[in-house]
């Protein structure tokens, strides 16, 4: 997991009042991760949702990402009733910060092979996310060469789980943020 550290040229997010562990981690989730968090109640990734619900993580989204989530919730494959779709969408919407679609940065992003996934890269950049959590192979491929490390890290859900305290394991060294993960994995501090 050598690619999971966060380059610290990005300024840390503001620390909300009452935050005990320091700054809130700003995170972008792709649609498949959202399905795990907000549709499948038995998801082993429930600690990720708990981190958002507890305010330790700030989930970020944009209008195009929300539209995709709503569209995917209606796929016949999931056989969700209108009420179930609305409940999942509303639960997410109640926790997430919507980022303006207007590019906030002049930083050019690499092009994702799957053009439908480019919006997640743009959201992570424009929302000043620390991490983009995805299991999508096209997005994960962009981790090679640390091309985005100066902006945000692309993490698998399993890697993101390492940033969440769990009853059976202690929190990661250094407080549980991407910067701490980088220190524990690479030995380099931010």
Strand order in the sheet with 57-61: 97-98, 57-61, 25-29, 131-133, 153-155
Residue 2 counted as domain residue: no
Contact yes or no for 184/173 (Cβ under 8 A): yes
Residues forming a β-bridge with 60? 28, 97
Residue 16 counted as domain residue: no
**pLDDT at 42 (0 to 100):** 64
**pLDDT at 50 (0 to 100):** 93
**pLDDT at 140 (0 to 100):** 83
Closest CA to 127 of 152, 109, 110: 152
**pLDDT at 55 (0 to 100):** 94
Residue 156 counted as domain residue: yes
**pLDDT at 114 (0 to 100):** 65
pLDDT under 50: residue ranges of the chain = 1-21, 168-190
- The parent domain of residue 119 ranges over 25-186
**pLDDT at 109 (0 to 100):** 66
H-only helix segments in the chain: 31-38, 46-53, 63-73, 82-93, 118-126, 137-141, 157-161, 178-186
**pLDDT at 102 (0 to 100):** 61
Instruction: Give me the CATH number covering residue 125.
Output: 3.40.50.1010
Residue 53 counted as domain residue: yes
pTM of the model as a whole: 0.73
- As for how many domains the chain has, the answer is 1
């Amino acid at each position: 997991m050598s690619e999971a550290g966060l380059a610290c040229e990005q300024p840390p997010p503001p620390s909300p009042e009452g935050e005990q562990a320091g700054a809130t981690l700003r995170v972008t989730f792709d649609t498949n991760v959202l399905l795990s968090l907000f549709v499948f109640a038995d998801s082993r990734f429930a600690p990720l949702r708990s981190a958002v619900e507890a305010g330790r993580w700030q989930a970020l989204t944009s209008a195009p990402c929300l539209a995709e989530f709503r569209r995917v919730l209606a796929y016949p494959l999931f056989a969700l009733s209108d009420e179930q779709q609305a409940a999942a969408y509303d639960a997410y919407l109640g926790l997430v910060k919507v980022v303006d679609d207007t590019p906030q940065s002049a930083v050019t992003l690499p092009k994702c092979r799957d053009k439908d996934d480019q919006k997640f890269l743009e959201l992570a950049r424009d929302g000043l996310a620390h991490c983009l959590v995805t299991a999508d192979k096209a997005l994960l491929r962009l981790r090679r060469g640390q091309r985005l490390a100066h902006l945000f890290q692309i993490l698998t859900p399993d890697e993101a789980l390492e940033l969440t305290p769990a009853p059976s394991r202690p929190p990661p060294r250094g407080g549980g943020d991407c910067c701490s993960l980088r220190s524990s994995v690479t030995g380099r501090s931010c």
